[in-house]
Amino acid sequence: MSKKLSVLSDRCPQNHPCPSVIVCPYGALRQSGFKAPKVDYDKCVSCGKCVRFCPKRALVLAEA
């Protein structure tokens, strides 16, 4: 089964630049201002690097 990245905005403090945006090797995360990041599903390969990097666990990979 494939996994899909989700952003749990209630866990994201939305008060700083998201560090996971920088670590995504595919450029699949984007952030507008300090809002919770958005996922570009055309670029995301569900590698999980951003999930492991997020200190607030606001990014999760779940069964699609």
How would CATH label the architecture of 3-63? 2-Layer Sandwich (3.30)
Helix (H) / strand (E) element for 18: namely none
How confident is the model at residue 64, as a pLDDT?
A: 81
Q: 20: closest CA among 45, 64, 57, 63? A: 57
pLDDT at 1 over 80: no
Dump pLDDT digits (tens) for 3-62. 999 999 999 999 999 999 999 999 999 999 999 999 999 999 999 999 999 999 999 999
How confident is the model at residue 19, as a pLDDT?
A: 93
How confident is the model at residue 31, as a pLDDT?
A: 97
* Assigned token pair, 33: 């201002």
* Assigned token pair, 30: 């984007």
